[in-house]
């Protein structure tokens, strides 16, 4: 059986659907999970979808992905702008990494313009709402097939 694609979500994403819907939309994280699972199935893959508000737990999951995942989609949320530790954990991976954001960080506050995750990601998808997650799944699948 093929390894799953890990889809890891950082802090506050558990509040999607109610938190700043003008920025993040009305879709819940569970609705996004369902969309990711459906898109992965079309590619013959499964996803392991997780969310945490804790930086250390997110890093533990990244480390787990080293052996357990075929590829990684990550929405690090605020940790993308602040966590050198997350950056360092991601650097240990030898699988495709796609960074995904619902909003477009480049069109927001200046502190969101830098991402430690982007520095090690295979690609970045942002500003496309929940559809961005589906595109990230497809991208990871394509990168897995070409490696």
| pLDDT (tens digit per residue) in 92-101 | 999 999 999 9
pLDDT over threshold 90, residue 147: no
Confidence (pTM): 0.93
The CATH number of whichever domain residue 129 belongs to comes to: 3.40.50.9100
- Average pLDDT on 42-67 reads 97
110 pLDDT above the threshold of 90 = no
* Residue 130, CA distances (Å) to 33, 83, 100, 112, 133 in order: 9, 24, 10, 19, 6
What angle, rounded to 10 degrees, do the helices at 130-146 and 29-42 form?
30
pLDDT tens sequence across 26-48: 899 999 999 999 999 999 999 99
User: Of 24, 79, 116, 133, which is the active-site residue?
Assistant: 24
| Amino acid 107: pLDDT | 57
At residue 19, the pLDDT reads 82
The Cα–Cα gap between 121 and 111 comes to: 19
At 126 the pLDDT is 94
Q: Tell me, yes or no, if 101 is annotated catalytic.
A: yes
**Count of domains in the chain?**
1
Entry field: residues in the chain: 147
Its domain, for residue 91, covers: 5-146
Instruction: Please determine, for residue 69, whether its predicted confidence score (pLDDT) is greater than 60.
Output: yes
79 catalytic per annotation: no
* Catalytic, out of 87, 101, 116, 133: 101
């Amino acid at each position: 059986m093929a390894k799953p694609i890990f889809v890891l979500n950082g802090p506050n994403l558990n509040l999607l659907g109610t938190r700043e819907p003008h920025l993040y939309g009305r879709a819940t994280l569970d609705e996004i999970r369902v969309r990711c699972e459906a898109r992965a199935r079309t590619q013959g893959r499964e996803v392991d979808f997780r969310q945490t508000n804790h930086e250390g737990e997110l890093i533990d999951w990244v480390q787990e992905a080293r052996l357990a995942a075929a590829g990684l989609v990550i929405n690090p949320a605020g940790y993308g702008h602040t966590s050198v530790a997350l950056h360092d954990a991601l650097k240990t991976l030898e699988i495709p990494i796609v960074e995904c954001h619902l909003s477009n960080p480049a069109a927001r506050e200046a502190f969101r313009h830098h991402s430690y995750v982007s520095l090690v990601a295979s690609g970045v998808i942002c500003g496309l709402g929940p559809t961005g997650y589906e595109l990230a799944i497809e991208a990871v699948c394509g990168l897995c097939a070409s490696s």
